[in-house]
């Protein structure tokens, strides 16, 4: 199948700007996530045509329209399923999925677990603001107990999900957490996730300044502690990572919790891709004799 050669261009913040300007609320943490993602691509010199950004539904899921890469705005909670198909169709692409805590850990929770289990080679960036922002302030899967929201005005009675522990338990081979206000640190985490071979999960505290007045920048600032500042921490130690994942309160770890290398990705285990030629670059036509055999099997 004929392919089109795309001429490489200098990768800059300017030419990664999407055709649509972000419409997030002023002060939203998602601006910081978008900037860190763009900076990661610039610093790694990854061409825009080598990347596809996929999202579900939510404030954060509008991100593919704000960055100049290939992009797909898909269904609520189904972004990882679509991303798996994209990676299998063209495993030469960098597949990046962006979403929020409601999209990813609520309606998309099933896909979250099984995409990690399959070790699909992609980067999943979750803008975790502990609230449903797009639908104007309901309790989300990561809202703390007692938090008053539009859907639970007398306080949340449900225990929140722990995304870090869930990712570790489900088999994610790269697990990290950042905060949108720490731009340099977050950019480095996203760079590591982009270069990781396998499923990379980066949970990002991205404060919602409009509907979540509990988990604010001011609340996070004295609490977040970088794992990189601890010379004794070993990100290859799964048990140490799980212990850090349980910490919440006066000290909240951010950084690279865990990384496992050498485990084959889903597309790496697929025999039909053994010759490394993406399916998208192959002749899609089925030989007439094979089509006839298939029809006869069904009759």
Q: Does residue 3 belong to any structural domain of this protein?
A: no
Write the Ramachandran bin of 296: left for phi over 0, alpha for psi from -120 to 50, otherwise beta: alpha
Across the strands, what pairs with 254? 226
pTM of the model: 0.94
Residue 178's beta-bridge partner residues?
A: 204
Instruction: Give the Cα separation of 180 and 157 in Å (integer).
Output: 28
Alpha carbon 126 to its chain centroid, in Å, reads: 5
CB atoms within 10 A of CB 286: 10
Rg (CA), the chain: 20
Q: Whole-angstrom Cα distance, residue 223 to residue 177? A: 14
Domain with 276, as residue range(s), is 14-298
Whether residue 112 lies inside any domain: the answer is yes
pLDDT tens digit string along 228-255?
999 999 999 999 999 999 999 999 999 9
User: Which positions of the chain have pLDDT values less than 70?
Assistant: 1-7
pLDDT in tens, 140-180: 999 999 999 999 999 999 999 999 999 999 999 999 999 99
CA angle at 238 for the pair 234 and 240, rounded to the nearest 5°: 55
Q: Does 35 reside within a domain?
A: yes
Q: Which of 127, 51, 268, 94 is nearest to 195 (CA)?
A: 94
Residue 52 lies in a domain: yes
Cβ pair 103, 56 in contact under 8 A: yes
In-domain check, residue 8: no
CA distance 9 to 73: 25
CA distances for 12 relative to 44, 96, 243, angstroms: 11, 18, 39
Asked whether residue 6 is assigned to any structural domain, the reply reads: no
For position 271, which CATH number holds? Answer: 3.40.50.970
- pLDDT number for residue 13: 96
The answer to whether residue 122 is domain-embedded is yes
Asked if residue 34 belongs to a domain, the reply is: yes
Q: Please state the domain count of the chain.
A: 1
């Amino acid at each position: 199948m004929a392919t089109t050669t795309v001429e490489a261009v200098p990768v800059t913040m300017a030419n990664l700007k999407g055709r649509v300007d972000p419409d997030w609320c002023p002060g939203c943490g998602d601006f910081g996530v978008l900037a860190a993602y763009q900076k990661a691509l610039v610093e790694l010199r990854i061409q825009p045509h080598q990347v596809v950004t996929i999202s579900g539904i939510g404030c954060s899921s509008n991100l593919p329209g704000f960055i100049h890469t290939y992009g797909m705005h898909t269904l609520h909670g189904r972004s990882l399923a679509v991303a798996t198909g994209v990676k299998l169709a063209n495993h030469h692409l960098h597949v990046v999925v962006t979403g929020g805590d409601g999209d990813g850990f609520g309606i998309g929770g099933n896909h979250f677990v099984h995409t990690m289990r399959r070790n699909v080679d992609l980067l999943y960036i979750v803008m975790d603001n502990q609230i449903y922002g797009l639908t104007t302030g309901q309790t989300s899967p990561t809202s703390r107990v007692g938090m008053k929201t539009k859907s639970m005005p007398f306080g949340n009675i449900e225990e929140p999900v722990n995304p870090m522990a869930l990712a570790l338990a489900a088999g994610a081979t790269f697990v990290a957490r950042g905060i949108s206000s720490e731009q340099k640190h977050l950019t480095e985490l996203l760079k590591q996730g982009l270069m990781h071979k396998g499923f990379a999960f980066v949970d990002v505290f991205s404060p919602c300044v409009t509907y979540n007045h509990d988990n604010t920048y001011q609340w996070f600032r004295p609490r977040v502690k970088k794992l990189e500042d601890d010379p004794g921490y070993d990100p290859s130690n799964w048990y140490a990572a799980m212990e850090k994942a349980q910490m919440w309160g006066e000290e909240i770890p951010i950084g690279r919790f865990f990384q496992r290398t050498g485990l084959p990705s889903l597309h790496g285990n697929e025999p039909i891709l053994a010759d490394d030629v993406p399916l998208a670059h192959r002749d899609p036509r089925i030989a007439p004799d094979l089509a006839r055999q298939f029809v006869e099997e069904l009759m």
